[in-house]
Amino acid sequence: MRVVYWAKLALARALITERLKSLDGVDLVVANTLPELLAALPGAQALILYDAPHSEAEVVVKALADPTSTVRWMHFITAGREGFESAGLPKNIAITYAAGAVSPAVAEHAMAMLLAIGRRVPDMLIQQAERKWDRAIGLKAFSLEGLTMLLVGFGHIGRELVPRAKAFGMKVNCVSRSATPEPMLDKVYALNDLHEALNTADVIVIAIALTEQTHQMMGFKEFAACKKGSVLINIARGGIVDQVALREALESGQLAGAGIDVTDPEPLPADDQLWNAPNLLLSPHYGGGGSPESLRRLADGTVENLQRLMQGVPLHNIVVT
């Protein structure tokens, strides 16, 4: 079977390439660029790839829609597929994705940002650089014990966050599309009750997928509904948060702090005013990195589904188009 791997990102690239090359019956072509990918597609049955910007995704989707295309399976190594979904995922191809593979690392990153804000780590570093000993920064510190975390979204990342938050003595509520009660959660709200839920939370963690419904769902009205002095953590997608509203909420003190691993656009332009927002921690979208276990899960999921395709048995983690 001819398999094309569009290895445009470093995420798990070496391990996935090694594992795919070791499979019997696989003719692997590793494409690093879009032209290389397009040149390799004729005669291929499988395409393994990462998400891409809309303009690139559109070119790939057009090639797959060609009547001569033989590709019958696409597997996304990234959890997100926004670029391809905006271009229109092919309807005649089985599509799967790496469900939850990096969720533990992302949950850990969310807790790291929250702890850094609560224990005033940025202020510590400033004082350390100035060789200054001032215990007054401790007056602004807070502990997680006894606080309420609100998860906006309850997918793989949300499920990984619950035990981590509860280990610090937090109460964990959730807003979800299904509003289905969960034993591990203290309370579940429907999306329509977002404002009510926000008003009960000391910490809000955005962990929901970006869709037309969730685009900029955290705006001026939502930040006004938050408990004053609460903290926002966004480890989902930048487009879910109105960044102008976020900046104003930080400047006014409505939010005591925010930690974001994602922005809209990415990378955040150097002249964007969000850089100047007070009490903001901004990491360049690497929350899922740093875990060998995540890389192993990404490779395992890719190889297992390819083997299932070759054996003609149902695939795991199918994307509904």
Q: Which amino acids are annotated catalytic?
A: 237, 266, 285
The neighbouring-strand residues paired with 204 are 150, 232
* Pair 240, 217: CB distance under 8 Å: yes
159: tokens are: 């499920």
Short-list 293, 317, 304, CA closest to 23: 304
Short-list 156, 16, 99, 102, CA closest to 285: 102
CA–CA distance, 303 with 316 (Å, rounded to integer): 11
Residues 6+ positions from 142 with CB-CB distance below 8 Å: 118, 256
Question: Beta-carbon neighbour count of residue 6 at 10 Å?
Answer: 24
Residues 6+ positions from 110 with CB-CB distance below 8 Å: 157, 161, 205, 207, 233, 235, 259, 261, 287
* Pair 32, 75: CB distance under 8 Å: no
| Percentages (nearest 5) of helix, strand, coil residues in the chain | 40, 20, 40
Residues 6+ positions from 136 with CB-CB distance below 8 Å: none
CA atoms within 13 A on the CB side of 321: 18
